[in-house]
Amino acid sequence: MIRFESECRPTMLMALLFAALLAGGIGKAFAAAGTFAPGTPIGAATEPKVVSSTPSNGDITVSTSTNNSNNVVTATQVTATFTQPMDAATVNILTFTVKETTGNDVLGTVMMDETKTVATFTPTSSALNPNTSYTATVMRTAKNAGGVAMANPVAWRFTTAAVVFTGQISVPLGTAGRFAILTKSGITDVFASTINGSVGSSPITGAAIHLTCAEVKTGTIYSVNAAGPLPCRVTDPTLLTKAVGDMEIAYSDAAGRILPDFIDLGAGKIGGLTLVPGLYKWNTGVLISTNVTVSGGVSDVWIFQIAGTLTQANATKVILKGGARAKNIFWQTASGVAVGTTAQFEGTILAKTKISLKTGASAHGRLLAQTAVTLQQNAVTRPAQ
């Protein structure tokens, strides 16, 4: 009986293979079992893995951008290569992420190649930030073509190369530089604020300046007419016209600087970051949610171009480090500015619209607004020249 089975087994195997061919071919017969990595036994439901990446884990010299054959500059792409074809619907911007190590997300898109084994994360920005550490992660919810998820998430870290920035020259303020607060449409105030530096509004009348003489500790309150605060106001429409014109020129100068060193840093969320000297550009608003540090030398210049609002959260600080000086820091904003309750701000604000300081906030710098400034028991000190 045993001998019979031994002799018949090949014949039975041949019959099975022949039946598979009749059903549509050997390829279809194996396809029902799924697709697996080379060397994996057929029928084994193995989890997919990431076997390689670009940039590689630990790389510290990654370029911030690349040029394609059409000379289009894009931020450096991040790729993950899997051991087996993946379900592209499960490898997306939610399961394949890139973050600055400070926690800020890098905005981008994720695409699979034709083999479904290589996923590419393409940042939205035209360049990654120099001298910055990033962490890329593929979540365990990424699945292979057979629906099997990764056993564990995979993360790797890389750092972009440092770049020597072209030094910026200071923004020329002209006669606007002598003011701590300068507006076109007035100043409102919740008593009592403390101002060190001159104050003025034009072309609106002096009646729109709601500060009292006692609140301006140093400097002068300038008015276009005799309606300004008494008895200290000085009527000087010629000076104010010149100063407002210089304020507008300064705004245009800061907004017109080109070749930024950083674009959309932190997707506009800069709390916790250290800002080195240079030109920064955001196509969005900027939020200071936690303390931010401005670090550099006494002669270094920082210019921040902001397409939206500038918002500083309550009780946060702009911290100067290494000799950085408030007089060399310029925040050019195309929309409003709001400095939160008891927050501490540093630098000159060149705002297209309103600047608002909440209760107890302080500013070591200048508030130069093309509409109004609102104060609530604040301290504003013009920086030393």
- At 326-385, the pLDDT tens digits run 999 999 999 999 999 999 999 999 999 999 999 999 999 999 999 999 999 999 999 987
Task: Answer whether 340's CB lies under 8 Å from 315's CB.
Answer: yes
Coil/strand/helix, residue 212? coil
* Residues shown for the chain: 385
Mean pLDDT calculated for residue range 299-327: 97
- Confidence at residue 318, expressed as pLDDT on a 0 to 100 scale: 98
Task: State yes or no: pLDDT of 271 exceeds 70.
Answer: yes
When comparing pLDDT for 70 and 89, which is higher?
A: 89
Check whether domain 50-159 has CATH 3.30.360.10, yes or no = no
Coil/strand/helix, residue 156? strand
- Confidence at residue 16, expressed as pLDDT on a 0 to 100 scale: 42
Angle at 323 between CA 320 and CA 328, to 5 degrees: 75
Backbone phi and psi for residue 65, each to the nearest 5 degrees, phi listed first: -155, 170
- Confidence at residue 229, expressed as pLDDT on a 0 to 100 scale: 95
The mean pLDDT value of the chain amounts to: 88
- Confidence at residue 26, expressed as pLDDT on a 0 to 100 scale: 32
- Confidence at residue 166, expressed as pLDDT on a 0 to 100 scale: 65
Task: Answer whether 142's CB lies under 8 Å from 90's CB.
Answer: yes
Task: State yes or no: pLDDT of 320 exceeds 50.
Answer: yes
Element (H, E) at 280: strand 278-282
**How many other C-beta atoms lie within 10 A of the C-beta of residue 23?**
10
Task: State yes or no: pLDDT of 265 exceeds 90.
Answer: no
Q: Mean pLDDT lowest for which of 3-7, 149-153, 199-203, 225-229?
A: 3-7
Reported as a single tens digit per residue, the pLDDT across 25-56 is 333 332 333 333 333 333 346 999 999 999 99
Reported as a single tens digit per residue, the pLDDT across 88-142 is 999 999 999 999 987 888 999 999 999 999 999 999 887 888 888 999 999 999 9
User: Is the bond into 38 cis (omega within 30 degrees of 0)?
Assistant: no
Coil/strand/helix, residue 237? helix
Element (H, E) at 10: helix 2-22
List the domain boundaries for the chain: 2-31, 50-159, 174-381
Would you place residue 69 in the very low, low, confident or very high pLDDT band (cuts 50, 70, 90)?
A: low
Would you place residue 302 in the very low, low, confident or very high pLDDT band (cuts 50, 70, 90)?
A: very high
Reported as a single tens digit per residue, the pLDDT across 272-299 is 888 889 999 999 999 999 999 999 899 9
Q: Which residues pair with 86 in a beta bridge?
A: 144
Q: How far apart are CA 356 and CA 153, in angstroms?
A: 45
Cα separations (Å) of 209 from 116, 223, 292, 293?
66, 8, 32, 33
Amino acid of residue 68: N
Backbone phi and psi for residue 141, each to the nearest 5 degrees, phi listed first: -80, -5
- Confidence at residue 164, expressed as pLDDT on a 0 to 100 scale: 64
